[in-house]
Each structure stands twice: as structure tokens, then as C-alpha cells.
Amino acid sequence: MTIGNELVSGDVANTNGSWLAARLERIGVDVGLVAAIPDVVDSIALFVREQAAGYSIVLVTGGLGGTPDDVTREAVAAAFGVGQAQDAAQAERILQRFAGRNTEYALRWAQLPIGSRGIDNPLGGAPGFAIENVYVLPGLPAEMKAMFDVIVDELVGAAPIVSWRRLYKTTESRIVDVLEEMATRHPRVSVGSYPSFEPERTVEVVVKSHDPAALEAARAWIEPALDEAIG
């Protein structure tokens, strides 16, 4: 879940969502949803509350600065029905980092939801935090990536997801029967097809699975089947 008016409006590409989805897949976490939400407390709180009830992990990025549109701390606190309080450890860290500068402004970052656990920001001032199954990270990509590495061991799921992919000069209509039969023959893998029309008609076929043996069996079947269908 990425937060920011600039993401919803299209002014900024949602690179955080794409990066996190790819990294989570590598550690065996199946991603069920990628969403962008505007800087509106009620909208963020409702979405966090709903997704936390439906998924084992919710990752949130953005809105942890100190400007008026940075409302993520307040919104997540509302999602869990709690207030905010200064996290003593994070406040001390901020005071040390910003000694002699505008500490009053920076200390806003330490006002975390009550009952949450602060997460150190290796590259910046604003800490992240975790509350129940929700992890909140900064929106700046470099800081988000560095903080993800801090918590990655807590997120590891099943076996890493492995994949096979190949680009074909064809159309989906010519290979749809193969893709449909794949689901019946190899239920332990997922298969996707992604068409492109520039500069020529192509389809990228991607097969994924938590089970390397299942992936290899599926690849061994689908490669010749696709070659035959395409002719």
C-alpha cells in the first residue's frame, strides 16, 4: 500500500509498489494486492483496517514526513483505534541525529501509534513502525529499501518463488489453448501472458511456483506445446 496524492494523480510513478512486490516474491511472499491511496486520513485508516484483517502482512509506504500531507502515522493509529505517543527511543535517535537543527519539527516523526514498535531508518530521520501485522516504511525509495532490509527476516514466507519466462512472436489468441491446458496439467504453478504490440506483436509467457520441481515439469511441457501452437 503506497500513500500519496502524487501517486494517485499519476504525477509520480509507483516504483515503491513494484519494487516491494518483486522483493517479496523473492522471499516467498505471495502478493495479493498493490494499491495507491491518497493522503486522506479516513481513506488510509479504512483501507489499512480492511487489509490487515484480510492479509497476513500489510506493507505501507509514504507519508512519514512532517508536512501537512504526511498523515500516515495518524491514519494507522486511527485504523487500530489508538492514539499517538512519543516513542522515547526514536525521539532520542532523532535528537542525536539532528542536534543543533530544527528538532521541534523532526520530533513529529517520533509520534507513533500507541502499541507500535519503532523501526530505525538507516538513511533518514523519520522512523518506520510496526503494529500487529502492519509495517509502515518511508516513501523515499532509498530509505524504503534500506528499512525493508531491516525487517526482511520478519517477512520471509514459504520457499522463494522461482520463475521461467520466454518472449514469443505471436498473439494470445494463438496460444490460449496451451495456457488453459497448463492450469489443468500443472496446478502447482501459475502462468501469465503479457502481450505487446510495439514494435511487433509479442507475448511474454511467465510461469511461477514455490516448487522448483513443479516449475521444471511445467516448463518441460509448455515450451514444446507453445512451439507447436505457434508453428
**Cβ count near 226 (within 10 Å):** 19
| Local confidence band at 97 (pLDDT 50, 70, 90 cut-offs) | confident
* Sign of CA pseudo-dihedral 5, 11, 16, 21: positive
User: Does 100 score more than 80 pLDDT?
Assistant: no
User: Does 2 score more than 80 pLDDT?
Assistant: yes
- Which phi-psi region, left, alpha or beta, contains residue 204 (left: φ > 0; alpha: ψ -120 to 50)? beta
Domains of the chain, by residue range, sit at 2-155, 162-230
User: Does 159 score more than 90 pLDDT?
Assistant: no
- What is the gyration radius of the CA atoms in the chain, in angstroms? 22
∠ CA 17-9-113, rounded to 5°: 55
User: Does 158 score more than 80 pLDDT?
Assistant: no
On whether the CB atoms of residues 34 and 4 are closer than 8 A, the answer is no
Cis peptide upstream of residue 199 (ω within 30 degrees of 0): yes
Q: 162-230 has which CATH code?
A: 3.30.70.600
d(CA 208, CA 188): 9
Residues 51-74: what's their mean pLDDT? Answer: 95
Q: 151, exposed or middle or buried, with CB in 10 Å at 0-12, 13-18, 19+? A: middle
CATH topology of domain 2-155: Molybdenum Cofactor Biosythetic Enzyme; Chain A (3.40.980)
On whether the CB atoms of residues 141 and 16 are closer than 8 A, the answer is yes
User: Does 104 score more than 90 pLDDT?
Assistant: no
Residues 50-73: what's their mean pLDDT? Answer: 95
**Highest mean pLDDT range out of 25-29, 114-118, 124-128?**
114-118
How does pLDDT run across 126-137, given as a tens digit for each residue?
A: 999 999 999 999
Residues 76-103: what's their mean pLDDT? Answer: 92
Comparing C-alpha atoms, which of 143, 133, 91 is closest to residue 112? Answer: 91
Q: Which residue did the predictor score with more confidence, 125 or 194?
A: 194
Look at residue 30 in the predicted model and tell me its pLDDT: 92
Q: Which residue did the predictor score with more confidence, 105 or 21?
A: 21
Pick the range with the lowest mean pLDDT from 38-42, 81-85, 153-157. Answer: 153-157
